[in-house]
Amino acid sequence: MKNRKILTGLAVLVGLIGVLFLSLPTILHKSGLHPEYTGPLIDLPGKRALIVTTSHGVLSAPGETEGDVTGLLSSEMTHPYYAFLDGGMEVDLASIQGGEIPMDPTSFFYMIKSPEDERYLNDAVAQAKVKNSIPIAEVDIDQYDIVFISGGFGAAYDLAQSPALADKVSEAYYGDKRAIIAGVCHGALGLVSARDTDGNLLIKGRRMTGVSDKQIKELGVYSITPKHPDTELRKAGALYESQTAFRDFFAAHMTVDEERRFVTGQNQNSGLEMAHTIMKILR
């Protein structure tokens, strides 16, 4: 009898753990992870968007070359990619070095994976673009109406450090198409080194956001990654702002500068709203 009660108790416990596991995506979503976009949809046939990502795939501490696998956080690419694609736009992918874009494996964890991530996993065309991204130095930036820079921990290692990306951001800003330029989460680091025609930092005095120092510390990688958007945006003279939550992983914030040329998002929860906001401005 005693053994039967123990087995029954264990079965109930296993059942409760199973229910909790199956409920995790919903719990995290309700807490603020990857909020849905409920606004109007925009069609922009004939327009072109470029999504730019990191090429760095190792979460290595300063002075080291080995560490956990990292790279692009998938939703920071898939959310704008499918928003633009579903709006009738052509969408290309570029990275700092070109070739295969490293994807952070945590992107596809059961409890974190978004519907757009799932769509990507079943999309051979998008996967081919990820495996064959264009080197940023070879991009003809004048062809694009939108330049969207995605994040992930890998971006801390090569976006702000890339002269080629800085030049492309400046060229996109001054180009005939007056492209809208965006950075989400660590992707905002791709904006901090661009300069205007007088040699001044291009984002100085503009409202901007990116992943907060608080969130990076909460994720335990602040002392590992070399660049932090909160800090670097302030150094570049941007007017940094953000929202907070019990964990900033569940916060969300988006900014549009007064000129409506730069759109930035605080973290992985901002990509969908950013993409549709950019499309409204472009229309």
The C-alpha atoms of residue 166 and residue 28 are separated, in whole angstroms, by 35
Q: Is the pTM of this model over 0.85?
A: yes
The C-alpha atoms of residue 119 and residue 79 are separated, in whole angstroms, by 10
Sequence-separated (6 or more) residues with CB below 8 Å from residue 169: 147, 181, 190, 191, 194, 202
Residue 4 has pLDDT above 70, yes or no: no
More confident residue, 278 or 30: 278
pLDDT of 10: 60
pLDDT digits (tens, 9 = 90+) for 252-267: 999 999 999 999 999 9
**Of all residues in the chain, what percent carry a pLDDT higher than 70?**
92
pLDDT digits (tens, 9 = 90+) for 197-236: 999 999 999 999 999 999 999 999 999 999 999 999 999 9
- Phi/psi for 108 (5° steps) reads -105, 15
**What CATH number should be reported for the domain whose range is 43-282?**
3.40.50.880
Do residues 76 and 151 make contact, with C-beta atoms less than 8 angstroms apart?
yes
pLDDT of 16: 46
Q: Which of 4, 90, 108 is nearest to 49 (CA)?
A: 90
Mean pLDDT on 149-163: 98
Domain assignments of the chain as residue spans, ordered by start: 1-31, 43-282
Residue 249 has pLDDT above 90, yes or no: yes
**Of all residues in the chain, what percent carry a pLDDT higher than 90?**
87
